[in-house]
Structure 1
Amino acid sequence: MKKNSPFIRYIGIILTIILSSLFFITIYSVDNKYTQSSVQPIDGMLILTEDDLDNNPSNFLIRGWRFYPNVLLTPEQYNENASELYSTYVSIGENTGLTDENGVAPHGYGTYVLTLVLPEKTETYALYLPEIYCAYRLYIDDEEIISIGTPEKDNYNAVTANRMITFDHSGSNAVTVMLAVNNESYIYGGMVYPPSFGTPVALNYQRGINLGLYLAVISIVAFIMIFCLFFAIRHKHQNAVLYTLMCFFTILFIGYPILHTGFTLSVFPWYAIETTSGYIVLFLTILVNNRICRVRHITNVISSAVSAAFCILIFTYTMNASFVSGVFIDLFSNIISCYKLLTAGYLLITGWHNTSEYNEIYRPLFYASLFYASSCVWDRILPMYEPIYGGRFIEYGCLALVLSIGFMLLKEIIQSYSYSMAFAEEKKQMTRQLAMQTEYSAQIKQQYEEKRRLIHDFRQHIRVINSMVNSSDNNELKQYLSELSYEITSDKGAQSIVFCENTAVDALIRYYAGIMDEKGIRSQFHLTIPKKLDISDVELCTVLGNLIENAVEACENQNCGDKSVSVSSTVKGSHLFIVIRNTFNGEIRKFRNCFMSSKGINRPGIGISSSMKIISNNSGSINITNNDSQFQVGITLPLKSET
């Protein structure tokens, strides 16, 4: 196997780190709600002019929300008591909890309020609320617009969904947006992701592109998953089984925008499944990596056990999120970050070892591990990232791992398929040779038994002749000798037809002649096979065997008419010409000048393709013609030149 130059590997590592870093910095800058240029609320109020909406028809509401902790306000309560209640200003995304008098807590309740001052004309506006990890009620002015779950403490029910609402505005009155939220169930609370406000066309366009990208990626992964599942079932390929599971959990991990757009889901167990799916992808990545990279047994056991244990820990953690404190959430968040970096480091170390010691087949996984490690690092360096259209850093990293392993597995599958086809062809040749040998042995046995019978009978004839000699009855002796001569020289199976002088080809033709006789197919053989051929007997028998077998199968598929196969050969100049003709039902399956198999499977016929390859390797040529009832194959092979 070809080893990689250390210099090339170092250059590849540096380029991967640079390019991946540029990628994450670029999407952070251009595909980030927090870096988009838009008008932001100030002190709980957003003022938008017509020019503002023309320049930015979609605005992400990040800063300046007025927040009232520990109260679930209705419009009536807000209008009556707002001035008497404690409030603060918050920015969406700065924390993942609800603020109370003791600081930031993941669990609790409160009310977000934002006043919108809009142009004085009749217009329809839209507000898009990405998934909020708690129950909430949304009010526009004095009207309740939507209710996701039940935020009231006495009847709390947590569900989540992505929702876009529209409302009409006219006149000069300001619009009050109020969001009463309650979180008693998850590790995040309140508005974690910035909502967007603007025209319905702009928000629908933005949401459509985002969902389209996710659907495209999921469709690709699903297609790969189905292909691998088929291969895993058909060939019992263990790596394909693991990769099928990896694709399935990848879809669960990255498919949340589509799920939350189409369905209203309960927090449990869906968020636990979604979160754990990402770590199951890493676990399966380690399993496949250990198998592909031939990791030592003890290392394989330890790494797999640690990764599996972490998946269980994550699932337990998310399922019991309602009982954890803010301090524990911060601690566990750091543990998760360390685990991701350690996983990336492990993949890099094993990948480096294999690209150093074995061959370049492991490069894709090694560089994908670098990309994943880079995604983990930049996720910590640039935490204020919320994509507009694409995915998050870690999602890109996991997708790179999945696709790299898929690429490696695809190469392995193609190679395995090629080997299986070659093995199938070899098995067919061996089966044919075994059948020929069995047939030849049966004929030898028959001839041997006939000779034994003749020898046994000949002893009796000797006794009769001796008796006749003693009796001096010459006429009877002459008649008896005449009958005995006829008996000995007559063909009673002791002799067999010789089709050609080439022993191997003769055995092959004898084998197929017997098959055609059993199947009622008329056969004709006129063969001249010289000794001086560039092609070996094994290759010649392979070519003839494949083509005669195809001819016999074509005759079997005939529904009517005479069935016949003829094989003839002659020497002209410095070449051997072989012609094989057979009748058939008139149906030919071809795709791009390639003859397809007649066995009901959508792939080229192995017999013809194998014969073409052998003939080409021996500087010969093959010509295939047909009419409505007859199929003909002409073969030209060079003779060995005299030295």
Structure 2
Amino acid sequence: MAVTILGLLRFGVSLVFGIVVSALFAGIEPTRKNRLVISLLCIIFLFVQTTSWWLLGLGLTSKLYPLIIHLPLIVIFSLYYRHPWLISAVSVLSGYLCCQAPRWFGFLAGAALDSSLADHIFYIASVFLAYYCFKKYVAGSVRKLMEKSYKSCLLLGGVPLFYYLFDYITAVYTDILYSGVEWAVQFMPSTVSVFYFIFVILYYTETQKQASLQREKDMLDTQFRLAQTEFASLWQLQQNAASYRHDMRHHFALLQGLASTGHIEEIKEYLRVAQSDIDAITPMRFCENETVNLILSAFATKAKQVEIQLTIDAKLPDSLPFSDTELCSLLSNALENAIHATKSINDGNKRYITLRVYSKNNKLCIDIRNRYQSEPLFQQGFPVSKEQGHGFGTKSMAHIVEKHGGVFQFSVKDGWFIFQATA
């Protein structure tokens, strides 16, 4: 009698355990309302299960379980809680798979003590332990994997699905498993092995992808920090020029002293040195925006040093919807790449760079073109650098443009490499 009562209790506990674990995997928030709904579902399904067992018997009820319990539960998760159908199905299948751990504990205890009563008792006791472990250590990870991507959800649901089909085909609808048929005995170990290796391959691929993205992020951060450093250096030049202008009265006093004593040659030499110093620290003016003037002035000097003819047409207001560092990173990377490509041209008469930058409808518009020695290669719309550690400047430029809701394009036309952007 006790065995029968515990067997019925075990049947009910197994149902409630499967429902609440499925709800955990589906990511149903543990609010008061949701707890009430899940409790109500447990009561309804217990009533359906008990009625079916009373009218149809335990064997037929087990065979009808997919229709009277599992499928309705998937529908409820999908329609009432508005979860994707795939996540709902994988959650229920995973909940069914989780029921197997307590079953093993009960089986081992019953076999060790040679008692069906011990089987039921240990099964019921292990259900509570299993629920605690799944809730604290497993459910969150499973839920995140299911929500990560469609492929991840399919992979995660593969083993529960195959186990579900295998269990019902070989142990519920037939007794193939217990009759010792070789294919049935080998099926699940083989399936688990296949999914294990698939998981290893996909996990390795995903790890490599994440590592590559992290390296790219680190390089972009480095580019941004370099832009900050470069802009700080340019600003220091501006400050130096201001200081030099402030000290002009001292220079005039010295020149006046030299003139009064008739030292004409000394005056000429002093003026020559002073002019050189002023040229070195005074930015050229291209437009009203001081930040852009600093950047363009620095790169005009760089281009001149490597005998590149840089033509600049800049019409920008004092204020732009970009931070100084973003402007520095965007223009510096564009001009640095152009100079790097152009200076490799053997014929010095063909080293040309043209830059047109202007504002239209409060948008920053850039058109920079340069000649090149070797035809550039493109991959996914970006020029591909053959040199190690290069190629991140263009991605940094793209990131800044996209951050401001703009568009950009890299292209080649009539011997010119062209970068155009509007943001």
Shorter-chain TM-score bucket reads 0.5 to 0.7
SS at structure 2 position matched to 1:520: coil
Asked if 1:530 corresponds to 2:317, the answer is yes
Residue 582 (structure 1) aligns with: 370
**Distance in structure 2 (CA, Å) of the matches to 1:458 and 1:587:** 54
Q: How does 1:14-413 map to 2 (within 5 A)?
A: 14-16=92-94, 352-354=135-137, 356-357=139-140, 360-363=143-146, 370=160, 381-382=177-178, 384-387=180-183, 392-404=187-199, 406-408=201-203, 410-413=205-208
Of residues 363-372 and 420-429 in structure 1, the stretch that sits farther from structure 2 once superposed is 363-372
- 1:17/1:4 Cα in 2 relative to 1: closer, same or farther (>3 Å)? closer
Asked if 1:551 corresponds to 2:338, the answer is yes
Asked whether the 8 Å contact 2:409–2:420 carries over to 1, the reply is yes
Q: 2:418 aligns with which of 620, 625, 632?
A: 632
- 1:387/1:575 Cα in 2 relative to 1: closer, same or farther (>3 Å)? same
SS at structure 1 position matched to 2:277: coil
TM-score (norm 2): 0.52
- 1:463/1:543 Cα in 2 relative to 1: closer, same or farther (>3 Å)? closer
Asked whether the 8 Å contact 1:372–1:394 carries over to 2, the reply is no
- 1:610/1:356 Cα in 2 relative to 1: closer, same or farther (>3 Å)? same
Listed one character per residue, the Cα deviations across residues 91-147 of structure 1 (whole Å, up to 9, x for unaligned) are: xxxxxxxxxxxxxxxxxxxxxxxxxxxxxxxxxxxxxxxxxxxxxxxxxxxxxxxxx
Q: In structure 2, what residue type is equivalent to 1:353?
A: K
- 1:508/1:13 Cα in 2 relative to 1: closer, same or farther (>3 Å)? same
Residue 493 (structure 1) aligns with: 277
Shift of 1:604: 11
Listed one character per residue, the Cα deviations across residues 585-634 of structure 1 (whole Å, up to 9, x for unaligned) are: 25131346x23412258x99544454345434534443555334222333
**Distance in structure 1 (CA, Å) of the matches to 2:294 and 2:26:** 48
**Distance in structure 2 (CA, Å) of the matches to 1:413 and 1:20:** 31
Asked whether the 8 Å contact 1:589–1:597 carries over to 2, the reply is yes
**Distance in structure 1 (CA, Å) of the matches to 2:333 and 2:207:** 28
**Distance in structure 2 (CA, Å) of the matches to 1:383 and 1:521:** 85
Asked whether the 8 Å contact 1:569–1:579 carries over to 2, the reply is yes
**Which structure shows the bigger proportion of residues in strand conformation?**
1
SS at structure 1 position matched to 2:334: helix
SS at structure 2 position matched to 1:527: strand
Q: Give the number of the structure whose alpha-carbon radius of gyration is greater.
A: 1
Q: How does 1:424-503 map to 2 (within 5 A)?
A: 424-438=219-233, 441=236, 460-461=254-255, 487=271, 491-495=275-279, 496=282, 497-503=284-290
- 1:501/1:585 Cα in 2 relative to 1: closer, same or farther (>3 Å)? same
- 1:442/1:537 Cα in 2 relative to 1: closer, same or farther (>3 Å)? closer
Asked if 1:615 corresponds to 2:410, the answer is no
**Distance in structure 1 (CA, Å) of the matches to 2:89 and 2:26:** 15
- 1:598/1:381 Cα in 2 relative to 1: closer, same or farther (>3 Å)? same
**Distance in structure 1 (CA, Å) of the matches to 2:251 and 2:334:** 45
- 1:348/1:626 Cα in 2 relative to 1: closer, same or farther (>3 Å)? farther
Shift of 1:554: 1.9
Shift of 1:539: 3.4
**Distance in structure 2 (CA, Å) of the matches to 1:516 and 1:424:** 25
- 1:503/1:404 Cα in 2 relative to 1: closer, same or farther (>3 Å)? same
SS at structure 2 position matched to 1:493: helix
Residue 138 (structure 1) aligns with: none
SS at structure 1 position matched to 2:384: coil
Q: In structure 2, what residue type is equivalent to 1:615?
A: V
SS at structure 2 position matched to 1:547: helix
Q: 1:4 aligns with which of 9, 27, 31?
A: 27
Asked whether the 8 Å contact 2:223–2:329 carries over to 1, the reply is no
Shift of 1:351: 6.0
SS at structure 2 position matched to 1:494: helix
**Distance in structure 1 (CA, Å) of the matches to 2:316 and 2:289:** 6
- 1:549/1:384 Cα in 2 relative to 1: closer, same or farther (>3 Å)? farther
Residue 419 (structure 1) aligns with: 214
**Distance in structure 1 (CA, Å) of the matches to 2:332 and 2:143:** 40
**Distance in structure 2 (CA, Å) of the matches to 1:585 and 1:490:** 39
Asked whether the 8 Å contact 2:231–2:328 carries over to 1, the reply is no
Give the total of aligned pairs: 299
Shift of 1:526: 2.8
- 1:529/1:582 Cα in 2 relative to 1: closer, same or farther (>3 Å)? same
Shift of 1:556: 3.7
Q: In structure 2, what residue type is equivalent to 1:386?
A: E
Shift of 1:583: 0.6
**Distance in structure 2 (CA, Å) of the matches to 1:540 and 1:560:** 32
**Distance in structure 2 (CA, Å) of the matches to 1:362 and 1:622:** 34
Q: CA RMSD in A?
A: 5.2
Listed one character per residue, the Cα deviations across residues 475-533 of structure 1 (whole Å, up to 9, x for unaligned) are: x6xx97xx68x939972322522344423323332343343334332322232221343
Q: In structure 2, what residue type is equivalent to 1:428?
A: Q
SS at structure 2 position matched to 1:533: coil
Structure 1, unaligned stretches of length 5 or more?
Answer: 22-330, 332-345, 469-475, 638-643
Shift of 1:376: 11
SS at structure 2 position matched to 1:492: helix
**Distance in structure 1 (CA, Å) of the matches to 2:275 and 2:338:** 31
Structure 2, unaligned stretches of length 5 or more?
Answer: 1-24, 30-37, 39-76, 78-86, 100-111, 113-128, 147-152
